[in-house]
């Protein structure tokens, strides 16, 4: 029996990572059962202890390395004990993990050929990401990203936008395109939705709440999310209720309650390779209002997008404020007329972006 090892993201209660910890092994096991295949799924965890997220970030910049370092130790012990065998699969739920290099080292030098899969979320190749903004000399970080790409057998991305952003940022911008072959693109690059089946189940009860004139900013409060635009809109449209969710220090249940009551989830984001928050909103019948850029372009119906140039920066927003206000008023005052399109949008997200079908198929080959 082959084993699939899941190198898990640290479980943060306010992030979807807490749902992945239990939900991802179950989803893989169910997919294998439906396919008539027998596999063993094992979570590889990091160091215990509460992870306090770095302000504005997705994880804790120091804590995540404590977690991943412990995972490297656990995987090394499994190799040393002969537990990891040829043909086993190892899924890294965050591809920006130096443990991948250590596993590749052991697999090749110990002659234990295992298959490595990694989900990319962000990196220094994205100029709007923390790594893209804060790392001054990106020669080292992009070299690591290229190395991880080549070490993995399957590099997994949720959107075409993310694939192109990665390839352009890692291989072309540093004049390293000669390292990337057509064979790499054909076989190493995998477009697959992410494994959010448990999120869909969790949010189901919140989809039937009474709507009120509530508009949410469900993103991290970080420069690339442009919260100042949302705050200015709130001053311009006081007849509606405006909430920056992260300012409220909400529990998951409280956050889901707000999502269920909201009519709009708003984005002016400058960085988005998938966008969990907008998808969560759609699952509970909140209309997304997103710019026509980034991953949003391919994911959302035209009716829920506004021209990208309206919010490319704060000055652009000021020039186009009246148009955005008019769009918001139309959506808020005519929620019922958007509902059929919202149901179509819901179906698109569930089928194409919130199920990791291709990733599961590759793990079970």
> What DSSP letter does each residue of 25-60 carry, written as one string?
HHHHHHHHHHTT--EEEEEE----S---PPTTSSS-
Q: Which of 169-183, 202-216, 250-264, 288-302 has the weakest average pLDDT?
A: 169-183
Does 162 share its domain with 23? Answer: yes
Which helix (H) or strand (E) element contains residue 21? helix 17-34
Q: Which domain holds residue 78?
A: 2-197+355-363
Q: What tens digit of pLDDT does each residue of 106-139 get? A: 999 999 999 999 999 999 999 999 899 999 999 9
206 and 190 share one domain: no
Rounded to a whole number of angstroms, the distance between the first and last alpha carbons of the chain is 13
- pLDDT at 56 (0 to 100): 44
Residues 182 and 286 in one domain: no
Structural domain count, the chain = 2
Matching residue, tokens 């635009």: 229
Residue 176 pLDDT exceeds 60: no
pLDDT tens digits along 74-85: 999 999 999 999
**How many angstroms from the chain centroid is the CA of residue 50?**
21
Shared-domain flag, residues 31 and 178: yes
Residue pair 170/140 in contact by the 8 Å Cβ criterion: no
Reported as a single tens digit per residue, the pLDDT across 25-62 is: 999 999 999 999 999 999 999 986 445 554 544 457 78
Mean pLDDT of 312-321: 98
**What mean pLDDT do residues 260-273 have?**
97
pTM of the model: 0.92
Question: Within this chain, do residues 177 and 280 fall inside the same structural domain, yes or no?
Answer: no
- The 8-class DSSP code of residue 1 comes to -
Other Cβ atoms closer than 10 A to 14: 14
Give the whole-angstrom CA distance, residue 155 versus residue 359: 10
pLDDT band at 175 (very low <50, low <70, confident <90, very high): low
Between 239 and 171, the more confident residue is 239
Beta carbons within 8 Å of 101's beta carbon, 6+ residues apart? 147, 148, 151
46-55, 203-212, 313-322, 356-365: least confidently modelled range: 46-55
User: Do 128 and 26 share a structural domain?
Assistant: yes
217 in the same domain as 183: no
Interval 184-235: pLDDT, tens: 888 999 999 999 999 999 999 999 889 999 999 999 999 999 999 999 999 9
Q: Are residues 219 and 108 in the same domain?
A: no
Q: DSSP 3-state assignment of 313?
A: coil
- DSSP H or E stretch at residue 190: strand 189-191
- Asked whether residue 318 falls in the same domain as residue 237, the answer is yes
Q: What angle do CA 363, 199, 278 make, to 5 degrees?
A: 110
Q: Please, which pLDDT band fits residue 16 given cuts at 50, 70 and 90?
A: confident
Average pLDDT over residues 247-270: 94
Higher pLDDT: 59 or 18? It is 18
The two tokens of residue 233 are 């809109």
Task: Give pLDDT, residue 57.
Answer: 44
Same domain, 221 and 234: yes
* Tokens (6 digits) for 43: 């979570």
Give the HSE-up count for residue 203: Cα atoms under 13 Å, Cβ half-sphere: 27
Q: Which of 252, 208, 234 is nearest to 332 (CA)?
A: 234
Q: Is the pLDDT of residue 70 over 60?
A: yes
Same domain, 192 and 285: no
CATH number, domain containing residue 214? 3.40.50.2000
Q: Name 90's bridge partners.
A: 5, 116
Q: At CB < 8 A and 24+ separation, what contacts does 332-338 make?
A: 332/213, 332/215, 332/240, 332/263, 332/264, 335/211, 335/263, 335/287, 338/287, 338/303, 338/304
Question: What separation in angstroms does the CA of 52 have from each of 60, 64, 65, 191?
Answer: 6, 10, 13, 31
Indicate whether 257 and 211 sit together in one domain: yes
Q: Where are the alpha helices (DSSP H) in 81-226?
A: 99-109, 130-134, 138-151, 160-167, 182-187, 197-203
């Amino acid at each position: 029996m082959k084993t699939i090892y899941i190198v898990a993201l640290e479980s943060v209660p306010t992030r979807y990572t807490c749902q992945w910890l239990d939900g991802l092994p179950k989803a893989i096991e169910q997919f294998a059962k439906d396919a008539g295949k027998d596999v063993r799924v094992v979570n590889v965890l990091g160091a215990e202890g509460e992870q306090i997220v770095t302000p504005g970030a997705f994880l804790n910049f120091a804590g995540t390395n404590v977690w991943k370092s412990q995972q490297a130790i656990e995987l090394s012990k499994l190799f040393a004990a002969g537990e990891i065998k040829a043909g086993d699969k190892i899924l890294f739920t965050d591809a920006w993990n130096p443990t991948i290099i250590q596993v590749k080292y052991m697999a090749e030098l110990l002659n234990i050929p295992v298959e490595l899969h990694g989900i990319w979320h962000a990196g220094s190749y994205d100029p709007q990401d923390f790594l893209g903004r804060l790392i001054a000399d990106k020669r080292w970080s992009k070299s690591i990203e290229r190395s991880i790409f080549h070490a993995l057998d399957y590099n997994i991305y949720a959107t075409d936008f993310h694939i192109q952003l990665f390839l352009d940022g890692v291989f072309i911008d540093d004049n390293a395109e000669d390292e990337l072959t057509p064979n790499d693109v054909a076989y190493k690059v995998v477009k697959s939705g992410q494994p959010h089946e448990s999120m869909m189940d969790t949010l189901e009860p919140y989809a039937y709440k009474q709507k009120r004139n509530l508009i949410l900013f469900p993103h991290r409060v970080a420069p690339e999310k442009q919260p100042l635009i949302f705050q200015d809109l709130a001053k311009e449209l006081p007849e509606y209720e405006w909430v920056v969710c992260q300012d409220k220090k909400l529990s998951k249940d409280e956050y889901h309650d707000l999502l269920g009551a909201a009519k709009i989830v708003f984005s002016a984001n400058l960085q988005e390779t998938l966008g969990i928050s907008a998808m969560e909103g759609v699952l509970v019948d909140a209309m997304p209002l997103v710019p026509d850029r980034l991953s949003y372009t391919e994911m959302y119906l035209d009716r829920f997008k506004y021209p990208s140039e309206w919010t490319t920066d704060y000055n652009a927003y000021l020039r186009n404020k009246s148009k955005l206000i008019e769009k918001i008023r139309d959506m808020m005052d005519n929620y019922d007329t958007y509902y059929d399109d919202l149901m179509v949008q819901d179906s698109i997200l569930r089928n194409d972006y919130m199920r990791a079908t291709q990733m599961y198929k590759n793990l079970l080959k």
